[in-house]
Structure 1
Amino acid sequence: MSQEHDEMDECVQALARVHAFLHEELVEADADAIRIHLHACERCMENFEIESTITEMIVRSQPVEQAPTTLAARIQTMRITRR
């Protein structure tokens, strides 16, 4: 029972971070941990595939727009001065 509980904890943790993983917002070590878990857990892989499909559909449905050059430059300046 304890091992099953630990495995459920791993599943909960992996699925809680799946969106960050899909958007490549995790550090590489955390992303690797998610990859390892997904390859070992069929249930989580199924959930991941569903989330991945939904994310792809959302991305495809949004038009690709770029910020005006002046806005992008202002944002970059703000990022540099805040560090």
Structure 2
Amino acid sequence: MDECVAALSRVHSFLHNELVERDADIIRLHLHACERCMENFEIESTITEMIQRSQETAASAPATLTARIQAMRVTTRR
């Protein structure tokens, strides 16, 4: 059951390709082995696809904003 909780808590990150490959592989293996989690994943995947299709193409952030955010990320990682 703990594996199910862990897998489902990271399903959104998995759907958005935000996990490192090792973590994504762990989620994939669990989903293939657990029918209940796979059903939940399929529902979340369908909802995510519907949301993405309903949104207009997002405008890109201004280059200056992107640069400022990247600078902040580098600063906070040290």
TM-score, normalised by the number of residues in structure 1: 0.74
Q: Give the corresponding residue for 2:29.
A: 36
**Unaligned ranges ≥5, structure 1:** 1-7
Counterpart pick for 1:71 among 62, 65, 75: 65
Runs of 4+ in structure 1 deviating by more than 4 angstroms, as ranges, are 76-80
The sequence identity of aligned pairs, in percent, is 77
State which structure, 1 or 2, has the greater radius of gyration over its C-alpha atoms: 1
- TM-score w.r.t. length of structure 2: 0.78
- Report the AA paired with residue 65 of structure 2: L
CA RMSD of superposed structures (Å): 1.7
Separation in 1 of the partners of 2:52 and 2:30? 25
- Cα 1:76–1:15 shift into 2, 3 Å: closer
* Gaps in structure 2 of 5+ consecutive residues: none
How many residue pairs get aligned? The number is 75
